[in-house]
Structure 1
Amino acid sequence: MGYILLIFSWSIFYSTHSLFASAKLKRILKAQWAGSQKWYRLFYTIFSTLLFMGIMIQSLFIPVSKFLDQSDLMTYLGYMFATFGTILLVKSTKQIQLKQFLGISAQEKSPHLITTGLYGRVRHPLYLGLILIFLGYVLVSATYTALIHFSCLILYLPFGMYFEEKNLVDQFGKAYEEYQKKVPMIIPKWNKKRGPKPS
C-alpha cells in the first residue's frame, strides 16, 4: 500500500509541475490578474517544495525492502553518479537567474535563451542531473522505494520535456527551434561541435 501511495504522490507532483509550467495557464493568469506572474512562480516554488518534502517524509515510513544485494561496485557507482548529477545541477543553475526562476527576485527581467556552457551540450542539464542523482540513490540503497522514485522520474520526463519544449518554442520562437536542431535534448554529444554560438 505504501508503494501505491508513493506512486500516487509522485503523480500529483509531476502533474502539477506540468500544469503550472503551462504557457496557456500563464497567459490566462496574466490576462486576468496583472502582475500575477511574479507571485505565480513564487507560489509554485513554495508549493512544489512542500510537496516534495512531503514525499520524502512519506518515504521514511515505508519499510525498507531491497530488490537486490548491494556490492562495493554498486555503491561506488551510485555515489559517483549522484556526485556527477549534483555537479550538473549546481553548474546549470549558475547559468540561470536563480532568484527570478524561484520567484524571489525583486525585478522582473525578460528571460533570454541560454545556449552556452552546459546548455551548449544538452538542452536540459537540470533533468540530466536529476536522473543521475536518482540513479545513484537506487544503486546505493537498492531499495524498492528508491526504484519507485527513479521509475516515476523516468516515466514523467518524456512528457515533462515535451511540454516544456513547447513552452520554450512559444516563448523564443525560431531561436529555440534552431537550438533544438543543434543541441540534443538529454543525452549530450561529446564531439568537436559544442553547440550554437551565442548570438
Structure 2
Amino acid sequence: MMQHDQAYGLWGLVFLNSFIFIFFAFSFVKPKTKTDWRSLSAFSAFIIALFTEMYGFPLTIYFLSGWLSNKYPDVDFMTHDNGHLLHTLLGFKGNPHWDSLHITSNVVIILGIFLLASAWKVLHKAQQSQSLATTGWYNRCRHPQYTAFIIIMFGFLLQWPTLPTLIMFPILVVVYVRLAKREEQIALSAFGDAYRQYMSSTPAWIPHFNVSTKVRKH
C-alpha cells in the first residue's frame, strides 16, 4: 500500500505539472481573441485530464483492472512505472522512462513545443501589423499553431495513454479543424485574393519542406 499511496493521490504534482504546461502554452499563445482562448482551453483540458490520471487518480487502470489482472497477474499496475501501460502491453523491459517509446514521445513533445513557439511568434507579429502571416512556419503550412497542439497531445498519448485522453484526442482534433476553418473565413474576408493565393500554394496541416520555397509577403 505504501507504493500505491506514493504512486497516486499526488494532487500537488497534478496541479504543478498542469500549471507548467498550460502556462508554457499560454506564454507563447498569448490569447487575445475568442478563437485563441478556445484553442488554449481545449489543450488545457487535455493536459489536466492527462496529469490527473498520471499522478492523481488512475481511472483507466481501475476501469481495465479485471482484464489487466487476468492478462498480467504478476504486474502491479498501481505503481507509477507500471502506469506506463504501453510499456507493459508492448512487452518492453526495464525502466519505462528510457524505452524507445518514451524517448520518442519526448522528442515529439519537444518538436511540438518548438513549432508552437515559432508559429505564434510569427502570427502575433502579423496580427500587430494587421498583415497576413506567411513567413516562418506559416510559409510551410497554414495552421502550424494547431498542428503543434496536435503533435504535443499525440506525444503525450505515446507516453501515457488513458481512456479520457484517447477519447478527447480525436474530438480536439475536430475542434482545431473547425477553429482553423473559421479563421480561414475571417482571413478571406480580410485579405481576399491574397489569402486565396496563399491557400492554393500552402498546405493546411502537414508542413512542406521544399528548399526552393520562397517567402511570400502581403
TM over 0.5: yes
Shift of 1:187: 0.5
Aligned to 2:134: 115
Aligned to 1:198: 217
Answer yes or no: is the 8 Å Cα contact 1:115–1:195 preserved in 2. Answer: no
Structure 1: segments with no counterpart, 5+ residues: 1-40, 102-108
Aligned to 2:107: 80
Shift of 1:46: 7.0
Shift of 1:69: 2.4
Shift of 1:179: 0.5
Q: Which has the higher contact order (CA 8 A, sep 6+)?
A: 1
Aligned to 1:187: 206
- The one-letter code sitting in structure 2 at the alignment partner of 1:155 is V
- The one-letter code sitting in structure 2 at the alignment partner of 1:120 is N
- The one-letter code sitting in structure 2 at the alignment partner of 1:91 is S
SS at match of 2:60: coil
SS at match of 1:190: coil
Answer yes or no: is the 8 Å Cα contact 2:141–2:205 preserved in 1. Answer: yes
Answer yes or no: is the 8 Å Cα contact 2:153–2:169 preserved in 1. Answer: yes
CA separation of 1:44 and 1:158: change in aligned 2, threshold 3 A: closer
Q: TM-score, normalised by structure 1?
A: 0.62
Mapped to 2, the partners of 1:190 and 1:44 lie a distance apart of: 28
160, 163, 185: which one pairs with 1:141?
A: 160
Let me know the Cα RMSD of the aligned residues.
Answer: 3.3
Structure 2: segments with no counterpart, 5+ residues: 1-31, 65-84, 93-98
CA separation of 1:52 and 1:139: change in aligned 2, threshold 3 A: closer
CA separation of 1:182 and 1:90: change in aligned 2, threshold 3 A: same
Matches within 5 A, 1:21-60: 41=32, 56-57=47-48, 60=52
Matches within 5 A, 1:154-193: 154-193=173-212
Answer yes or no: is the 8 Å Cα contact 1:88–1:126 preserved in 2. Answer: yes
Q: Is 1:92 the equivalent of 2:119? A: yes
SS at match of 2:213: coil
